[in-house]
A and B are shown apart, each in its own frame.
Chain A
Amino acid sequence: MNAPFYKFGLFGEDASLVVALLIGIGFGFFLERAGFGSARKLAAQFYFTDLRVFKVMFTAIVTAMLGVFWLSWLGLLDYTQVAVPSTYLIPQIVGGLVFGIGFVMGGYCPGTCCVAAATGRLDGFVHLFGMISGILLFGELFSFVEGFYHSTPMGRATLPDLLQLPFGLTIFLIVLLALAGFAAAEWLEGKFAPSTEEAGS
C-alpha cells in the first residue's frame, strides 16, 4: 500500500473532487449524528451541561492520530506526505481567541453551521451568511493585517519537536490526557447537567 494514494499519483485531480464529496458526506453525517446541527448542544459545552463538543473532538483527534501512527509504523502510510498545517503562532492564538467569542455568540463553527442550515435551522443559515460576510470584511481589510498574519512563522512544527519527546511517547501522553479529560467531563456533567436530560431535543 502506497498511501497517501493521491500523493503517489493513484488518481488525478478530477477524481480527487469525487473523493472530496464522499469524504464531506461522511464528515457532515457524523457531525449531525454527534448533535452538532444544534447550537444548543454546541453551546452547552461552555455551560458544562453537555460536554459533547470536547468528547467528540478529542475522540476524533485521538482516533485519527492513532490511525496515522499505526499505519506509518506498519509502513503503509508515508507520514511526511500528509499535510501538517504550518504554524504562525501568535496570529493563530489571536485568531482562536476571536473565534471563541464568535462560537458562543453565533452558536456554531464553520462546518457545523452548514449541517444546521441543511437540517432546517434558520440560525445556522444566518450564522453561515454572517461568516461569509466576516471573511469578506477580513479580505477587504487584509492589507492592514497582512504583516501580523505572516508573523511568528514556524513552518511544519509539531508537538514532539516542541516537547523534545519521541513521536510515540507524545501520542501516548495525548491519549492519557484525553482519557483524563473524558473522566473529568463525565464528572462535570454529573454536577452541572439538568437531572432530566431530553435526548435528541
Chain B
Amino acid sequence: MTMNPDSEMSNLTTPQPYMSPYLAGIGLGLVLLAAFVIMGRGLGASGAFTSFVAAGVGTVAPEYARSNTLYAEYLGAPGTNPLKDWLVFEIIGVVIGGLISGALAGRVRRDVEKGPRISVNKRLVFAFFGGGIMGIGSKLARGCTSGQALTGGAMLSIGSWAFMIAVFASAYAVAYLFRRQWQ
C-alpha cells in the first residue's frame, strides 16, 4: 500500500501524536474505577441517547410514550424530567472532555474520517446507516461498548463478555465488505 497523500497534508496543522494505547487504557480504566467507587455504577453512552429519544417521544405523544414499555423505563416516574439522568449528564461530559483533549492536541478540525477510495457523500451514508444499525444492536444488547464491554467486562458480567466477543466476531466477519470505505 502506498502512502496516503491526505495524511501528508494534514501534517501542516501538526496535530500531536495519540497517547500510547496502554496509557490511555489505564486512564480510561481509572475513570471507570472512579465511577465504581464514587457511584457504584459504571460508564455508558447508548442509554443516554435512549433517554433523549424517550424524552422526545414523551414530549410529542406523552400517553403513547407511557404505554411503550421501553420508553416508559427511560421516562421514569411521572412528573420527573427524563433528561435529569446520570448518563445524560455523563454524555454531556464526554463531549466536553473530548473537545478539551482534541483542542489541547491540535486535533479539532472540520473533516470526514474515511479512506482515500470513497467519496464524502458515500461515507456519510455509511455513517448514518452504520449508526442506525448500531443503535438497534445496542438496544437489543442493553448497552454498548461503554455500558456493556467496559463496565460489564470489568465487573465480569457473562452477558457483557458474550456481547464483546459477538461485537468483535461480527465486525471481523464483515470488515472485508466495507474495506473500500477505510483502505
- Which residues of A does B touch, CB under 8 Å? 3-7, 16-35, 37-41, 43-47, 52, 54-65, 67-68, 71, 77, 81-89, 91-124, 126-139, 142-143, 145-146, 148-149, 154, 156-162, 170-171, 174, 182, 194, 196, 198-201
Report the bound CA distance from A149 to B137 in whole Å: 11
Shortest CB-to-CB span from A148 to chain B, Å, is: 8
- Measured between beta carbons, the chain A residues less than 8 angstroms from B166 are 92-97, 99-100
A63 near B33 (CB under 8 angstroms)?
A: yes
Q: Known contacts being A57-B149, A102-B137, A108-B131, is A200 close to B98, with CB within 8 Å?
A: no
Chain A residues whose C-beta falls within 8 Å of the C-beta of B110 in the assembled complex: 120, 122
**A4 touches which of B40, B91, B129 (Cβ 8 Å):** B40
Q: Are B91 and A68 in contact (CB under 8 A)?
A: no
**CA separation between A29 and B21, bound complex, in Å?**
13
> Are B29 and A63 in contact, with the CB atoms below 8 A?
yes
Residues of A within 8 A of B127 (CB): 39, 106-108, 123-124, 126-127, 130
What is the CA–CA distance of A109 and B49 in the complex, to the nearest angstrom?
12
- How many contacts A-B (CB < 8 Å)? 558
Judging by beta carbons under 8 Å apart, are B168 and A100 in contact? yes
The binding surface of chain B is classed by DSSP as helix
Decide if B107 touches A119 in the complex (CB within 8 Å): yes
Contact sample, A vs B, 8 pairs, CB 8 Å cutoff: A21-B96, A33-B105, A35-B18, A95-B140, A105-B126, A108-B134, A115-B102, A121-B113
Chain B residue nearest in CB terms to A18 = B89
Bound Cα distance A95, B4 (Å):
35
* CB-defined contacts of A109 to chain B, threshold 8 Å: 45, 134, 144-146
Convert B54-93 into 0s and 1s, putting 1 for each residue whose CB lies closer than 8 angstroms to a CB of A: 1011000000000011110000000000001011111111
Tell which of B38, B126, B144, B163 touches A110, judged by Cβ atoms closer than 8 Å. B144
The complex places the Cα of A159 from the Cα of B34 at a distance, in Å, of 22
The distance from the CB of A49 to the nearest CB of chain B, in whole angstroms, is 8
Closest B residue by C-beta to A130 = B131
Taking the closest CB of chain B, its distance from the CB of A153, in whole angstroms, is 10
Report B-chain residues with C-beta under 8 Å of the C-beta of A95.
137-142, 163, 166
Residues of B within 8 A of A82 (CB): 36, 40-41, 155
Which of B27, B52, B160 is the one whose CB lies under 8 Å from A85? B160
A6 to B135, CA, bound (A): 30
Q: Residues of A contacting B137 with CB < 8 Å?
A: 95-102
CA distance A106 to B167 in the complex (A): 14
- Indicate whether A100 sits within 8 Å of B111 (C-beta atoms), given known contacts A17-B84, A57-B25, A107-B127: no
A115 to B145, CA, bound (A): 14
Q: Please judge, given known A-B contacts A6-B38, A100-B170, whether A27 and B28 are in contact too, CB under 8 Å.
A: yes
Q: How far is the CB of B134 from chain A (nearest CB, A)?
A: 3
Give Cα distance in the complex from A116 to B111, angstroms. 10
Contact yes or no, A63 B102, CB < 8 A: no
Contact B101 A33 (CB under 8 A): yes
* B99 neighbours in A (Cβ, 8 Å): 28, 118-119
Distance of A63 Cα from B28 Cα, bound (Å): 8
> B27–A86 contact, CB under 8 A?
no
Question: Residue B135 contacts which of A35, A112, A134 (CB distance < 8 angstroms)?
Answer: A134
Check A111–B94 contact: CB distance below 8 A.
yes
